[in-house]
Amino acid sequence: MKRIFLLIVTNFAILAVLSVTMQLLGIDQALTNETGLNLQGLLVFAAVFGFGGAFISLLISKWMAKMSTGAKVIEVPANQTERWLVDTVRRQAERAGIGMPEVAIYDAPDVNAFATGWNRNSALVAVSTGLLNNMSQDEAEAVLGHEVSHVANGDMVTLTLVQGVLNTFVLFLSRVVGFFVDRVLLKNERGTGPGFFIATMVAQLVLGVLASMVVAWFSRQREYRADAGGAELAGRQKMIAALERLKMNHGQSALPAQMSAFGISGGGGLAQLFMSHPPLDDRIAALRAAQSGVQ
């Protein structure tokens, strides 16, 4: 589950590059004239670039995850642990009705795992060495079920679509702000001046941060669903036990800073609005409520 933060960071970078490209190609200039801003044309370009950036992020998500964590895909199991990992993911994938994901291990002392990939039949599920060393087999099975559920639920595609919509509005509104600052406040009467570029980039940064809060909120809702999926694939008590184990290891993440929010233990961040995962206590409570039939 290292998915969300990496998607957001990659998307931010791509969006910044696309914005500069729009400036260099004169697209922003073409959308403005002496009488005003071509809002219809701007919305079309914002949608093309906004969704384009989000889907590029999705398409390279598996490669980015492998590169940033050093995850090694298990081609041929070298020992009993690797064989168990591959067999467990294969069994769960068959039950979930998805293609067999790549299974990988990455070297890190923290108890963590993630799933990513551009579609349900071309995914990656990876676990840390810390998880293998500190979790029981039942707990690890539940974590794998959680990750397989993310893939089966199409969470990466769903969040990419959400990000694409938000990107569109970020690009659109930031240029409206830039135009207002350049024409109204700075009294530039034609074309686009430096004020437009500076105001646009500042507005894009601020709006992008707000958009990331929306993506994080969607991510938190998907975590509860993945927990329920993990409970179905591995057993509810195993899923609860896995989350309890994560509480004991909370705060010990050794993931790169730009990926820490993607881990099964998640829950970090400067504030709850930016958290990609709900608090572990809330997730455990939700599973127990479902078990007892409380709505």
Give the number of other CB atoms < 10 A from CB of residue 233: 24
**Separation CA 127–CA 97 (nearest Å):** 21
- Catalytic residue ranges: 147
Residue 126: CB atoms within 10 A of its CB come to 27
Render the burial of 202-222: b for 16+ CB within 10 Å, e for the rest.
Answer: ebbeebbeebbeebbebbbeb
DSSP run (H or E) holding 242: helix 236-248
Cβ-Cβ contacts under 8 Å for 104 (sequence gap 6 or more): 66, 71, 72, 73, 74, 124, 125, 126, 127
Q: Return d(Cα 242, Cα 57) in angstroms, integer.
A: 30
Structure tokens at 140: 């690890």
The rounded distance, in Å, linking the Cα atoms of 33 and 237 is: 64
- Axis crossing angle, helix 194-234 with helix 3-24, rounded to the nearest 10: 160
Nearest to 219 by CA among 280, 162, 287: 162
| Radius of gyration over every alpha carbon of the chain, rounded to an integer in angstroms | 22
Asked if 112 contacts 131 with a C-beta cutoff of 8 angstroms, the reply is: yes
Tell me which residue of 214, 186, 216, 220 sits closest to 200, measured CA to CA. 186
